[in-house]
A = this chain, B = another copy of it.
């Protein structure tokens, strides 16, 4: 598809990660190299900022700010959870997006996010084509949950994996030292309906003594009775148990195990906000197994832990950003960049590929059975082979004289508004 010269827009959506800013940096740096692209713009808070015409000029940022994004966690452009629905039911929103794009001569749209963001980018580009407006939309994969289809893994996953494994290792040593009183610890990690993050903690276990000893993933039906038996069994062998639970554990009927506590709320995407599994299971351990139990809930700390992020992850995130711009320049349309693992049997290598935005939008990649042991309470060697390379290397974060990381905050030189105000639904 040939495309007129014009401006590009970069935006971020959904839950932040340690490296989604690295993707923005990669895309912005690459975009600034291409003469087909005039202005390199960003939307404040994802598609929400497009609808409100809250755009700013990345070209006016000091270059050290763009460089600093490679090592700055969270979403420096701002993120959102604004969900567009089908073209017909959200027609006004889609038309508004095109109105803003046209007003600012935006012909390239690079959207870093998960399934919902890929869906938004896809529908926007297709509506543009119908109306004769040339718009290239390329998605940049982003999710700590690692549940996007068609990509070997997702930028953001390697860093959360490295951090939760490190926390399991360190807090596991606490349980080991104090087992005579504080016998068990439950560590709850994110991941929604998939157990990729929970599984990653298993990388910390280099020998039987090491934590974690039990890992429960949403992909394996959870039984309270089996859980209590597992904890007692580990305690009888090691004198302690360090236990990982994914936030979205479900029983054999597919019901969340926390349903009974009513600890539920929905976010504005209609996704159920999960929580409270660790606290619930702490009480189960104390009451049913009879051991004192502590719990840890890392919450959003886990997805922003740039201070010990994976260099492999950060580099791949930037690579995806660059690849998105390169793909747009080469004429692709409605694609998401994927990560492709080279199977050369001689160490880990990773390149990029392409998948249809529409296909990614509707997929969800669960942890496959071969990565979970027979008992449904730990990972397999096959998972180690898969995830091990993704957590290698440390990002070289700048640390200030005060002993704390130095992260970038963008100046955000806002573009003048050219359209009438628009009210969000």
Contacts and interface: CB of A to CB of B under 8 A. Distances in A.
Interface of A: 12, 15-16, 45, 48, 72-76, 78-82, 162, 165-167, 169-171, 173-178, 180-182, 185, 187, 203-204, 206, 209, 265, 267-268, 276, 279, 292, 294-301, 303-308, 310, 312, 388, 391-394, 399, 401-405, 407, 409
Contacts of A409: 209
Given A80-B180, A81-B182, A265-B292, 17 more contacts: A15-B174, A15-B178, A16-B173, A16-B177, A78-B177, A169-B407, A170-B301, A170-B306, A170-B407, A171-B299, A174-B300, A174-B303, A206-B402, A209-B409, A294-B299, A392-B402, A392-B403
Contacts of A177: 12, 16, 45, 74-76, 78-79
Given A299-B185, A301-B167, A174 B74 contact: yes
Nearest to A389: B403
A174 to B, nearest CB: 4
Contacts of A162: 403-404
A165 B307 contact: no
Contact of A166 (B81, B303, B405): B405
A169 B18 CA distance: 12
16 contacts: A15-B174, A16-B174, A16-B178, A48-B180, A80-B181, A169-B404, A170-B405, A171-B299, A171-B300, A181-B267, A203-B404, A294-B299, A298-B301, A312-B403, A392-B401, A392-B403
A314 to B, nearest CB: 12
Contacts of A393: 403
A287 to B, nearest CB: 12
Contact of A45 (B180, B268, B300, B403): B180
Tallying the copies of this chain within the complex gives 2
Contacts of A185: 299-300
Contact of A176 (B74, B204, B296, B306): B74
Contacts of A79: 177-178
B181 A268 contact: yes
Q: Which of A403, A404, A405 is most buried by chain B, counting CB atoms within 10 A of its CB? A: A403
A297 to B, nearest CB: 5
User: What 4 A-B pairs are tightest by C-beta distance, nearest first?
Assistant: A74-B173, A296-B299, A75-B177, A170-B304
A394 B402 CA distance: 11
A215 to B, nearest CB: 16
A177 B412 CA distance: 13
Given A81-B181, A401-B392, A409-B209, A300 B294 contact: yes
Contacts of A176: 74, 78
A173 B301 contact: no
A390 to B, nearest CB: 8
A84 to B, nearest CB: 15
Given A74-B177, A79-B177, A178-B15, A405 B169 contact: yes
Contacts of A12: 177
A295 B304 contact: no
B403 A310 contact: yes
Given A78-B177, A301-B170, A165 B392 contact: no
A407 B388 CA distance: 18
A76 B321 CA distance: 44
A33 B166 CA distance: 35
Nearest to A176: B74
B174 A304 contact: yes
Nearest to A276: B279
Nearest to A399: B394
